[in-house]
Amino acid sequence: MPLVYALVSHGTIVLAEYSASSGNFTQVAHELLEKIPIERDTRMTYNAEHHTFNYLVRNEVVYLCLADKDFGQSIPFAFLEKIATQFEAQFGRRARETSVPYSMNADFAPVLQRQLEAFSNDRDKMRDVQQDLDRVKGVMQENISLVLEGSEKLE
């Protein structure tokens, strides 16, 4: 799965988290939270071997995901924007006022899971469409070459 892991936190306090697989990335993500300034809205990507940690800070809340490196940045950030919008709609200011770790996990981890799966499947669909377009392009180029060869024989 191209998107592997996601969390929502207020500073270093993880409010909700979901992982599609196991690994040390949860520990790395928690360590990364200590380095993310929440005072201003921002977005950033950190490279880690074959993966990227992408995060978005909005209203002092951190939205973070782990993606395969070849997945690029546009889809992970679209995912983060989507979960940020959903999280803000569901919890509003409450996220910035709580200090209880995982206090929103029961309600929001299923949302993270659904969105991880949806955005990962969208990538698979886009790859399939691109492969189909490449095949059609190859057939069209071959047909054009045949037409040009045929017109040369007529002259």
- Type and span of the H or E element at 53: strand 51-58
Query: What does the DSSP 8-state code read for residue 52?
Result: E
Instruction: Name the pLDDT band for 1 (thresholds 50, 70, 90).
Output: low
Name 102's Cβ contacts closer than 8 Å, sequence gap at least 6.
14, 15, 16, 17
- Provide, rounded to the nearest whole percent, the portion of the chain with pLDDT above 90: 57
Angle between helices 105-154 and 74-91 (to 10 degrees): 150
For the stretch 63-100, pLDDT in tens is 999 999 888 888 899 999 999 999 999 998 888 888 79
For the stretch 100-121, pLDDT in tens is 999 999 999 999 999 999 888 7
